[in-house]
Amino acid sequence: MTLIRVVKQVQRKSLQCPLLCKFSSDSSALRKGPECKWLCGSSQEIVSALRGQVEVRQNFISEEEENALFKEVEPGLRKKRYEFDHWDDAIHGYRETERLQWGVMGESILRRVRAVAFPEGSPLLGPVHVLDLDKEGYIKPHIDSVKFCGSTIAGLSLLSDSIMRLVPENNSTDWVDLLLSRRSLYILRDDARFKFTHEILKDEDSFFIGQKVPRHRRISVICRNLPV
């Protein structure tokens, strides 16, 4: 695990979303546009600070595309065992692989990811990172290596919904939660990537605006660019 290191592990009780991003029609004063379907935070300020730097595109891939990606990555993952017992790892309950060559459908999906996520001409990290989290697995708060990865991280979520939490590195009382629905694409850019830790919550902590978001086995397919 050279790409990431654990930054801190703050024990949090399960947090309630404030009235910031309510779905119901009676919360007119605090509704903040379409991102409220997938973003909620501890304060208006923190949500505003991240505007434009976090994005979740729901249903970015179809069920057929999800299936095709799964079929491509599963044989490589199956050969490995889930890692549970390295207490100092940033990730618990996972196995992973990297992939340089993709089939026709995989390649066309990744082309779409690159087109929407990265600045044109930005040099990309060649191999795509494939991370398989067991149902019991989770990712602790960390910042991806600034030595090996650039300004943008883009990830597809297969098989399960999950919650990604962002916490400012210098102020661990604020937080922003992203609902990463199955088959969505998330993008973290700039400050969201450099100044906030990100983590994927374990099943027992997986809630969005008070609603349980069951965490099953989840596979992510992650593209990164190179540092400039």
Q: How far apart are CA 60 and CA 7, in angstroms?
A: 30
Q: How far apart are CA 9 and CA 59, in angstroms?
A: 31
Question: Which of 210, 223, 170, 214 lies closest to 40, judged by CA?
Answer: 210
Q: Is 198 in the site for ligand OGA (CB under 6 A)?
A: yes
Report residue 199 as tokens: 């983590």
Q: Is 192 in the site for ligand OGA (CB under 6 A)?
A: no
Dihedral over Cα of 45, 27, 32, 207: its sign: positive
Which residues are 212's β-sheet partners? Answer: 207
Binding-residue total with ligand OGA (CB under 6 A): 10
Q: Looking at 66, 144, 161, 177, which residue binds ligand OGA (CB under 6 A)?
A: 144
DSSP 16: P
* Type of residue numbered 29: A
Q: Could you tell which of ligand OGA, Mn ion, none binds residue 220, using a CB distance below 5 to 8 A set by kind? A: ligand OGA
Q: Could you tell which of ligand OGA, Mn ion, none binds residue 225, using a CB distance below 5 to 8 A set by kind? A: none
Q: Looking at 208, 220, 223, 225, which residue binds ligand OGA (CB under 6 A)?
A: 220
- For the bound state, the minimum distance from the C-beta of residue 128 to Mn ion, rounded and expressed in Å, comes to 14
- For the bound state, the minimum distance from the C-beta of residue 52 to ligand OGA, rounded and expressed in Å, comes to 20
Query: Quick check: 109 and 71 in contact, CB under 8 A?
Result: no
CB-nearer residue toward ligand OGA: 17 or 154: 154
Binders of Mn ion among 139-168, rule CB under 5 A?
A: 144
Task: Work out whether strand 207-208 and strand 211-212 pair parallel, antiparallel, or are unpaired.
Answer: antiparallel
Q: How far apart are CA 14 and CA 201, in angstroms?
A: 10
Q: Is 161 in the site for ligand OGA (CB under 6 A)?
A: no
- For the bound state, the minimum distance from the C-beta of residue 144 to Mn ion, rounded and expressed in Å, comes to 4
Interaction site with ligand OGA (CB under 6 A): 3-4, 131, 139, 144, 155, 198, 200, 220, 222
Contact residues toward Mn ion (CB under 5 A) are 4, 144
